[in-house]
Amino acid sequence: MRLLPRRILLGSVKRRSWWIGVLAILSVAGAMFILGLPMGGTRKEPIPASTTGPATTGPAASSTFSTVASPTAASAVETPPAISAPRTTDYRRLASAAATAIYTWDTRTASYSEVYSRLRDWWDVLPDGSNPLTVFVQEFEATGVNAGTYATLAGEQARRSATVQSLVCDGELAKVRDHPAPWVGLHVCTAILRVVDQSNSDRNAYAAPVSVMVNCPPATTAPIDHCVVVGFYATPSRIVY
């Protein structure tokens, strides 16, 4: 993909620095969410009307397989379907699908490497390297699972599924109103999910927020005919509201 043309970089340097903070937390462990102070300017793209109500803050996401078993958990056998990235220019649809995929896996049908690789295919690294795969690994593990815990959960035939309860994007989010996207075609959406964790003995449902960054045409860093995911946040302190 080509580098961004000069005309797209005319926005505030400080405004762009905030979005770079949204797209990447660099490789420093524990680096905090970067917020710059914008110097003004207007968005280059009108904000579409919301198709859902405002999101409400849910509890921080975490693995819940050690909770008290549901009476019907042992007999409930539900296989979360594998989710493929839709090829679309509808950034809301892609963000919703990505949020669901981030919280969907099944130890009975896929290894950790398969789950990781499938979700990795959603993440499109930008030419300037502002959204490295180190951030992808960090944020996926923020959902409460890594290679070690996944191996343990496999012995319990654990699985996780999710459905989107609400989705708000761009100007519907206070942080984005204060710090508009540095180029046309870059979007951020925050979904509130209903997540269900199940195993042979346990079943627990809870709410989890996830923020997804999507890059779409006419951005020169995006494909010409569809949108791509360029980042997501599951760490509670980094969710965009």
Distance CA 163, CA 230 (A): 21
Give mean pLDDT, residues 2-14: 43
Residue 216 CA: distances (Å) to CA of 92, 94, 154: 11, 10, 37
Q: Predicted confidence band at 82 (pLDDT cuts at 50, 70, 90)?
A: low
Cα–Cα distance for residue pair 87/30, rounded to 1 Å: 34
Q: Where are the beta strands (DSSP E) in 135-218?
A: 159-169, 186-198, 203-215
- What is the spatial distance between Cα 216 and Cα 199, in angstroms, rounded to a whole number? 38
94: pLDDT confidence band, cut at 50, 70 and 90?
Answer: very high
Q: What is the pLDDT of residue 113?
A: 97
Q: Which two tokens stand for residue 77?
A: 């056998």
List the single range of 17-21, 110-114, 151-155, 157-161 with lowest mean pLDDT: 17-21
The answer on pLDDT for 15 being more than 90 is: no
Least confident range from 18-22, 66-70, 90-94, 195-199: namely: 66-70
Q: Band of the pLDDT at 10, cuts 50, 70, 90?
A: very low
* pLDDT band with cut points at 50, 70 and 90 for residue 84: confident
Angle, CA 42 vertex, CA 5 and CA 135 arms, to 5°: 60
Other CB atoms within a 10 A radius of the CB of residue 240 amount to 21
pLDDT at 80 over 70: no
- Does the pLDDT at position 230 exceed 60? yes
Q: What is the mean pLDDT of the chain?
A: 78
pLDDT of 62 > 70? The answer is no
pTM for the structure as a whole: 0.71
More confident residue, 81 or 47: 81
Position 127 pLDDT exceeds 80: yes
**Comparing 105 with 61, which gets the higher pLDDT?**
105
Report pLDDT for 85: 87
Q: pLDDT exceeding 90 applies to what percent of the chain? A: 65
Residue 65 confidence (pLDDT) above 80? no
Position 83 scores a pLDDT of 74
21 pLDDT above the threshold of 80: no
Side-chain half-sphere exposure of 152, counting CA atoms within 13 A = 9
